[in-house]
A and B are shown apart, each in its own frame.
Chain A
Amino acid sequence: MCRSACVGLRAKGNNATADFLGMLHMTTTALPPPPTAPDAPAFLTPALDNWRGAIAAALVLSVIAIAALPAAAAFWTVGALVALVAATFVVNAFRRHYYGGLLVAPAIAMLFVMNIFPLLWSLGLSFFAYQSNRQTMKFVGLHNYIQALTSDIKAPENWANLQTTAVFVVCTVAAQMLVGFLLALLFAKQFPLRRYLLILVLTPMMLSVVAVGVFYTYYYDPTFGLVSQVVNRMCGCQYVLMSNRAGAIGGIVFADAWMWSPFVMLLVLAGLVSVPKYLYEAASIDRVSSWRSFWTITFPYIRGLLMLALLFRTIEAFKLADLVILLTKGGNGTMTISYHVLRIAQEQNKTSEGAALSYLLLFVVIVLTNLYLYVANRRSQEA
């Protein structure tokens, strides 16, 4: 999911790496030339840096292990073979002075173990009938996906949850963008106590979601909650915010917007303060109205950041589950697709079903973000 969002960051990172490697290169050229690297070993030599041989051997042995050994033993055998191949890569890099590669190796290993492997593993699981509390595992092909999309029981539920999620995405993102943008406009000006107020406004973003959830359970509490108390006092009736769907969604949206508007504000503020002051002066000399100067001068500076904020917040909103769990436990029609997946996979132990549903959700998010990026890029090329 990060793929699209990280584009800008990655470009920067590349430059930094290039500089760093350039520096490395300089230091090595300054030193006496290193002893010439040994030639790569022949394909069949049993050497620790013969990575081609290792890959071939590992492939053959893996196939044999999977065919001959019981599942658990085969799993660990394949794991050991992968580790062996990785080791030959490292030794090879060391002997041939590929220090750049060696330096990023720990990061790559970590990424592989913590991200790529689980991702692929869960993708694999989604094609099996598997429950984490049972020992059996059966290949069922696309059954899980077909069930999730077409089953009379599951499909409507998934669809409803996805719709709820869409409502949350639209409402929270709109609220955050609007409030964050207005806050940024406010804090771009100088006024007394600005610094302290800024810290105060940024606080929600830094709080733990659990803390925020607990705050709001107390605010929304039917008996002693602040909201109920105030409204009861005013109308003399018994008001419970979370008692209907609209109220429950509104409550969660409010909490989420309260927490994440400062994030949007921070991004937009960065854009606003980067506008050179002399442009506004030039505009006032040119007798341009403030409305027009906003659209022609200010907005181009913050447009990119607004779009970035929109992208980040949309992706995050799709994953909304924490506040729902804390505030309504999915009741009153607030069940989001993420929480639904969590329930299936964790609470009902339907691991492979959950995996299949997650991949469907991932697909939706990737399609949406790419659509968004396509539109954004085309517009920026036009501009």
Chain B
Amino acid sequence: MAATKITALALNGVSKSYGKVRALAGLSFEVAEGRFFALFGPSSVGKTTTLRAIAGLVQPDAGSIRIGGADVTHAPIKGRGVSMVFQSFALYPHLTVANNLAYPLVEEGVDKSEIAKRVKETADMLRLSHRLERKPSTLSGGEQQRVALGRSLIRRPKILLLDEPLTNLDAKLRHEMRAELKRLHRQFGMTIVYATPDELEALSMGEEIAVMRDGRVVQIGTPDELFDHPSDLYVAAKIGSPHMNTIQVKVGSDGNSLETPFGSVPAPRIIGGLSAGEALVLGVRPSDLRLAQGAAASLAPSVQQLEPLGDVTVVSLTASGQQLRIVLPEAQAIGMKTGDAVPIVIDPTKLHLFRGRDGLALSRQS
């Protein structure tokens, strides 16, 4: 990443266990200042614990947390300059929206007129001005969400932690809030750490994404990097929808070809080469498969299922007992029926290879 940027937040080997359950196992990552950083992974992978450790609600068992260069691993919550939006919003039910927004300011000794001004600004920005005198329970989910956001933004934190903030909203609202959050990030330019189990949220908002698994980070990168160069099968399976097709293959006896269920295909050139007979997993994105139009077809599996999604259609194919999914523009899928044989070509430059043993990606020679 851009090395000139200042590191706003750095976690180094952070571990945390709850009894026998290991929530974090040597988690490390760095976030540059002003970046929208997404923590992505399925539920109970340690995202929330990570955020809580950064906020200071949880003391890590091992490792260190640095904010703006200062070690805050065991520092009290107060001095961290961190604000957090909880998944449950955690609005104070007995206070009005205005008082909820003002809550973090009152304790800081900001004077009344300044508080009123900031509350008004924040409410205007989040389109909550007409709701200021209401109690949180009388607001809709989206409004509650915006109050929670406003309460975190009002004190201009250095780092904003968002714990699955859109999970409790319906699909349409989620879409709106995604755009809203990006706008707020541009406007304020603070560092955001955003935990989400939703691939779409992570890819669409995160400038940088850390894919988590079992309490540690598997891969960090921009959305493109994760999509084009997944570091292992886990990341490959999590990023991209529909998921990457995976095919169990073996390296041919010459070391230059792969034996697939559909026959032999030339192997991509791999750094370090391939040893004959090695078991590998071949990955190919559904969007990287094309219909053979005129060109020689690599294989011709038959259609098992069609999922029209409007502009594209996801076609599930089966050949020699192997499932393959392919994404076709809607026009090409017209007229296809279950059982049809579809000639397709595989672009050898778009193949991903993973070691069968541990799922790690093999780097291609460029």
Contacts and interface: CB of A to CB of B under 8 A. Distances in A.
Contacts of B57: 281, 284-285
A292 B109 CA distance: 13
Interface string A280-292: 0111111111001
Given A296-B92, A300-B93, 20 more contacts: A276-B88, A278-B86, A279-B92, A281-B90, A282-B84, A282-B90, A282-B92, A283-B92, A283-B103, A284-B57, A284-B77, A285-B83, A285-B84, A286-B107, A286-B151, A288-B103, A288-B106, A292-B107, A296-B103, A300-B94
A296 B108 contact: no
Interface string A260-287: 0000000000000000101101111111
A281 B151 contact: no
A288 B90 CA distance: 14
Interface of B: 55-57, 77-78, 82-84, 86, 88, 90, 92-95, 103-104, 106-108, 151
23 contacts: A276-B88, A278-B88, A278-B90, A279-B92, A281-B90, A282-B86, A284-B56, A284-B57, A284-B77, A285-B55, A285-B82, A285-B83, A285-B84, A286-B104, A287-B77, A287-B104, A292-B107, A296-B92, A296-B94, A296-B95, A296-B103, A300-B93, A300-B94
Given A278-B86, A279-B90, A281-B57, A289 B77 contact: no
Nearest to B95: A296
Contact of B108 (A284, A287, A301): A287
A383 interface: yes
What 10 pairs across the A-B complex have the smallest Cβ distances? A300-B94, A282-B90, A286-B104, A278-B90, A285-B84, A287-B78, A288-B107, A284-B77, A281-B57, A286-B103
A166 interface: no
A286 B151 CA distance: 8
Interface residues of A, number: 18
Contacts of B108: 287
A281 B86 contact: yes
Contact of B94 (A278, A282, A284, A383): A383
A297 interface: yes
Interface of A: 276, 278-279, 281-289, 292, 296-297, 300-301, 383
Contacts of B94: 296-297, 300-301, 383
Interface of B, helix, strand, loop or mixed by DSSP:
loop
Nearest to B157: A285
Nearest to B57: A281
A314 to B, nearest CB: 25
B55 A287 contact: no
B98 to A, nearest CB: 13
Contact of A287 (B93, B95, B107, B151): B107
Contacts of A279: 90, 92-93
A288 B106 CA distance: 8
B58 to A, nearest CB: 10
Nearest to A300: B94
Given A296-B94, A300-B94, A383-B94, A288 B88 contact: no
A289 B108 CA distance: 10
Contacts of A292: 106-107
A288 B104 contact: yes
A271 B84 CA distance: 26
Contacts of B104: 286-288
Contacts of A289: 107
A178 to B, nearest CB: 23
Contacts of A286: 83, 103-104, 107, 151
Nearest to B104: A286
A281 B83 CA distance: 11
Contacts of B55: 285
A300 B106 CA distance: 19
B311 to A, nearest CB: 41
A205 to B, nearest CB: 30
B96 to A, nearest CB: 10
B354 to A, nearest CB: 40
Contact of A297 (B56, B77, B92): B92
Contacts of A296: 92, 94-95, 103
B86 to A, nearest CB: 6
A97 to B, nearest CB: 42
Nearest to B148: A282
Nearest to B107: A288
Contacts of A282: 84, 86, 90, 92
Contacts of B88: 276, 278
B51 to A, nearest CB: 10
Nearest to A301: B94
A300 B151 CA distance: 20
B216 to A, nearest CB: 24
B145 to A, nearest CB: 14
Nearest to A284: B77
A297 B92 CA distance: 7
A296 to B, nearest CB: 6
A48 B226 CA distance: 86
A289 B109 CA distance: 12
A383 B92 CA distance: 14
Contacts of B90: 276, 278-279, 281-282
A292 B151 CA distance: 17
Nearest to A299: B94
A236 B88 CA distance: 64
Contacts of B92: 279, 282-283, 296-297
Contacts of A281: 57, 86, 90
Nearest to B99: A296
Which of B82, B93, B95, B103 gathers most chain A CB within 10 Å? Answer: B103
Nearest to A289: B107
